[in-house]
Structures are given as C-alpha cells and as structure tokens.
C-alpha cells in the first residue's frame, strides 16, 4: 500500500493511493497516518479495504509529510561507503546516530527555507524507515517485524552549523523545513528488499546524486536493532538512513543551496519529491504558532 497525508499544513487528512494513482480518503477509517494506525494489525485492516469504496480526495490537494505526529526523528550518518569516501571519513565501526527535530518535518513538495545566517545548506536524498511497532532491544533477525514501511527523506543539512559550530551534528540538521518526508509511506510488503533501491537527486535539473541503497554500510535490520538499544522506538517514529555520494559539501569546490534553487529527488518504488529553496525572509508567516523572534546573539 501507498499511504499519504493530504491537505493544509497542520490539518492533513489520511489517504490511500489507489491503483490509478488517485488519493482515496481514509478519514472514516483511521484518524491519521500516525501512531497506532501504523501497527501491523491496523495496516492489515487497511489492506483489506476496497479502495473503490473510499471517497476520492478533492483534486489539487497539497501532499503533506507521509507520517504524522513523529516522536523520534533519528538519523544515521556516513552510512554509505561511497559517501564516506567522498568526505574522506573512515568507515564507521558502529552506526553514527544523531537526531533531527520533528519540527523540521514538512511535505515532499513544500519550500525549504534557508535558516537565518546560513551559508552552507546542503542536500541529501535518503531512505527513511517508519516504525510500526514499539521496539526496545530488538535483535536484527526480528527487526523488520517492527517496520511499517519506507519513504523518502531529504536530509537537508546546514554544514557550517553541523560541523563548524562545535558540539553535535544536530545543530545543522533540525532547522525548520529540513525534513521533507514522502510523498507516500510505502508499506514493507511492497519493498521486500530495501537494500537495492536506486536513488537520485537533481539541483536545477543537474544530476548531483546517483546511488543505491546497496552501498549502505549498516542495513535496515541492523539500524533498527541498533537504535532500539539506545531508545524506545514508538509507532510513527522515523529513522533516516544516510545518503550516497554527490552532496554539495563533497564537491570541489563545494556547492551549496541558494534562494531560487529547486531540488528534485527520488527513490525507486517510493516516488519523488520537489522543493524550491527560499530565503528566511521569504518564508510565509506561521499564523497557527506565532512566536516572538529576536536577533539577540546566543
């Protein structure tokens, strides 16, 4: 199944993509594509539905992030052998784990906002794992039983914040709009082997990343098992699993995003994303969560 969330930001409705590529409304069946709705039992119930019995969503709807109410947004760094090589980093002995702020999650085609003071914002096409069952200290041999499905993540990263400001990588990873997810959550049964998926990313129509999940250092079961030994993973949590080569930081000279750039990216079987890059000053005001912004130094 391909599950989707559509509608105005913050008010998305759950949907299912039918065989003709149309969105069918699931609002009468589940409250959201989130939490308990992602359990094996719930997904089996959705799988038993006849999509033609569900109402069609109105045409032209915005596609939101394919998972709602994400609690843990975990990321794995330097998890592709060819990407590690382009950065000059050694192959990690264990997965490098960091967090992206759940508040950075946006829809697959929403604008990406350059944060205030950014000079080195970069792109990363990634396979993301969506958790379907509560996982704690699970073994790699059973880890896939805890996975609901997969989606695309653009792990947008501000490299100066990440690498030159001291401390952890998190500072460059969780800025608003730095976590586009979707367009769909594809259930695990449709992706029997997540370790052979072609992936790509273009900037302004120019191919930057061409890779495959086959060059992952730590595979999906290893990642889910490993992370579950350090935190409890809940249904709807997302783990994004690293990127192939071709990021801007690895180019000579390095190349970073600027206002007006357009990123297009995709993974075989998981769909495509497209984001326009805008300056911080161009962003639309968030009237639903007003905040007082200050310029004071920190």
In the chain the beta strands, taken as DSSP E runs, fall at: 2-6, 13-17, 23-25, 73-77, 96-99, 105-106, 112-113, 121-122, 125-131, 147-154, 157-158, 179-180, 185-187, 198-203, 206-212, 238-240, 262-267, 271-278
> Considering the domain boundaries, does residue 224 fall inside one?
yes
> Considering the domain boundaries, does residue 287 fall inside one?
no
pTM (2 decimals)? 0.94
Q: Can you tell me the distance from the alpha carbon of 98 to that of 124, in angstroms, rounded to the nearest whole number?
A: 15
Q: What is the DSSP letter of 18?
A: -
Same domain, yes or no, for 44 and 78?
no
> Considering the domain boundaries, does residue 229 fall inside one?
yes
In 116-197 the beta strands, taken as DSSP E runs, fall at: 121-122, 125-131, 147-154, 157-158, 179-180, 185-187
Same domain, yes or no, for 49 and 80?
no
Same domain, yes or no, for 105 and 22?
no
What pLDDT is attached to residue 71? Answer: 98
Q: Can you tell me the distance from the alpha carbon of 1 to that of 72, in angstroms, rounded to the nearest whole number?
A: 23
* Cβ atoms within 10 Å of 97's Cβ, excluding its own: 16
Q: What is the mean pLDDT of each run of 10 residues along the chain (298 residues)?
A: 97 97 97 98 97 96 98 96 81 95 98 97 98 98 98 98 90 97 98 97 98 97 98 98 95 96 98 97 65 41
> Considering the domain boundaries, does residue 142 fall inside one?
yes
What pLDDT is attached to residue 282? Answer: 86
Same domain, yes or no, for 39 and 86?
no
What pLDDT is attached to residue 223? Answer: 98
Residue 249, beta-bridge partner list: none
Same domain, yes or no, for 186 and 216?
yes
Same domain, yes or no, for 38 and 94?
no
> Considering the domain boundaries, does residue 85 fall inside one?
yes
Same domain, yes or no, for 86 and 135?
yes
> Considering the domain boundaries, does residue 189 fall inside one?
yes
Please answer whether residues 261 and 281 qualify as being in contact, where contact means their C-beta atoms are separated by less than 8 angstroms.
no
Owning domain of residue 117: 73-280
> Considering the domain boundaries, does residue 67 fall inside one?
no
Q: What CATH number does the domain containing 186 carry?
A: 3.90.850.10
> Considering the domain boundaries, does residue 291 fall inside one?
no
Same domain, yes or no, for 135 and 273?
yes
Q: Can you tell me the distance from the alpha carbon of 264 to that of 274, in angstroms, rounded to the nearest whole number?
A: 4
Same domain, yes or no, for 97 and 206?
yes
Count up the domains in the chain and report the number.
Answer: 2
Same domain, yes or no, for 97 and 240?
yes
For the chain, give the number of residues. Answer: 298
Same domain, yes or no, for 34 and 96?
no
Same domain, yes or no, for 187 and 255?
yes
């Amino acid at each position: 199944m391909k599950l989707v969330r559509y509608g105005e930001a913050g008010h998305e409705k759950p949907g299912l993509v039918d065989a003709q590529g149309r969105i069918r409304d699931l609002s009468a069946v589940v409250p959201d594509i989130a939490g308990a709705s992602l359990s094996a039992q719930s997904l089996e119930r959705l799988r038993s539905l006849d999509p033609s019995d569900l109402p069609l969503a109105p045409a032209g709807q915005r596609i939101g992030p394919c998972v709602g109410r994400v609690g843990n947004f975990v990321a794995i760094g330097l998890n592709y052998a060819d990407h590690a090589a382009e950065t000059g980093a050694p192959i990690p002995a264990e997965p490098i784990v960091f967090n992206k702020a759940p508040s950075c999650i946006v829809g697959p085609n929403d604008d990406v906002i350059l944060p205030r003071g950014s000079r080195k914002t970069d792109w990363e096409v990634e396979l993301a794992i969506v958790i379907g069952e509560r996982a704690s200290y699970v073994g790699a041999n059973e880890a896939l039983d805890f996975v609901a499905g997969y989606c695309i993540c653009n792990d947008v990263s501000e490299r100066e914040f990440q690498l030159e400001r001291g401390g952890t990588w998190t500072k460059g990873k969780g800025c608003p709009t730095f976590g586009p997810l979707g367009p769909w959550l594809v259930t695990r049964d449709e992706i029997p082997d997540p370790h052979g998926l072609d992936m790509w990313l273009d900037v302004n129509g120019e191919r930057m990343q061409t890779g495959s999940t086959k060059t992952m250092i730590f595979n999906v079961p290893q990642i889910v098992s490993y992370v579950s030994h350090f935190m409890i993973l809940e249904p709807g949590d997302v783990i994004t699993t690293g990127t192939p080569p071709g990021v801007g930081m690895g180019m000579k000279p390095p190349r970073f995003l600027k206002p007006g750039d357009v990123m297009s990216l995709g993974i075989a079987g998981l769909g495509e994303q497209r984001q326009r890059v805008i300056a911080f000053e161009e962003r639309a005001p968030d009237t639903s969560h007003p905040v007082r912004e200050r310029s004071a130094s920190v």
